[in-house]
Amino acid sequence: MDSLKLPLIVLICVLAAALSVTLVTADTLSRRLGTLHMQYGYADSRIREITSQRDTLAGIHRFCTMRADSLEMMCRRADSLEARLQMLELRNDYVGYYLLIDTYQNRFHLRRNLEDGTDIMVRSGYCGTGKGWTSNENGRVWDFSTPRGLRYVVRKGENPYWYRPDWYWEEMDMTPPEPEEYIVIPDTIPWEDQIAYYNDSLSAGERLFVQRVPGALGSYKLDLGGGILIHYGVGRGMNVSHGCIRIGSADLEALYRTLPVGAPVVIY
């Protein structure tokens, strides 16, 4: 019996030591797991906070982007509404021919308000209006929109010339020529001969150096002030011009012969 007592005591001591080590290890691991849990929980909370902030900023960005994209349309609608109100006032007070320019559908409407208050359509057709913001390869930017609102025919003219502005060359990434570099078509010959000289006697490169171009605007022009003209041009039914209103030859002559100086023109 005594011979078994010593080994039993040793076994109990070993088990007690192993249990102590296990308890210490378990406590250490428990503390470490607690620390890791706290750290992980903090990181998870922080991640959720940053994600929320990111989503909020992304929403603000989308909102601002939509506002920026729609700002031009909002301004156009406001201008058009004001022009339409001016048109209604015009019908109440004005007797005679007047012109409407629709920059959305790119159509013109020649109308006449009679003394008895009757308003009738006289002529309608397609026109070309301003193409809006545009730029060249060098980053130069221009706003070639047709201005909306109420205008008047301030002057009319036959056989007009188009004087190329500097932006004509700059839009094509060219340097505007110096005055001494211009090719001048002699005005001592008839206007029709000037057009033939420009088209037939000059090369494409030489025509670029003609500042006063005959025939480019057609046979007539109606000046609405501020550099905005009604003249002949291609691209009718589209937003293609640099702000002027382009119409066909027959329509241009009809407007020229019908609208007097001082006639209202409502652009919307």
Tell me which residue has tokens 């002529």. Answer: 123
Residue by residue, pLDDT tens for the chain (268 residues) are: 555 556 556 666 666 666 666 666 666 766 776 665 566 555 566 666 666 666 676 666 666 655 555 666 666 666 667 776 777 777 778 899 999 999 999 999 999 999 988 999 999 999 999 999 999 888 899 999 999 999 999 999 999 999 999 999 999 999 999 999 999 999 899 999 999 999 999 999 999 999 999 999 999 999 999 999 999 999 999 999 999 999 999 999 999 999 999 999 999 9
φ/ψ of residue 242, rounded to 5: -95, 20
Q: Give the 3-state DSSP-derived string for 108-177, with helices as H, strands as E and coil as C.
A: EEEEEECCCCCEEEEEEEECEEECEEEECCCCCEEEECCCCEEEECCEEEECCEEECCHHHHHHCCCCCC
Residue type, 239: N
Q: Of 248, 63, 263, which is closest to residue 152 (Cα–Cα)?
A: 263
Q: Which of helix, strand or coil describes residue 196? A: helix
Residues 6 or more apart in contact with residue 169 via CB below 8 angstroms? 175, 176, 177, 208
pTM assigned to the model: 0.70
Tell me which residue has tokens 């730029």. Answer: 135
Distance CA(72)–CA(262), nearest Å, equals 30
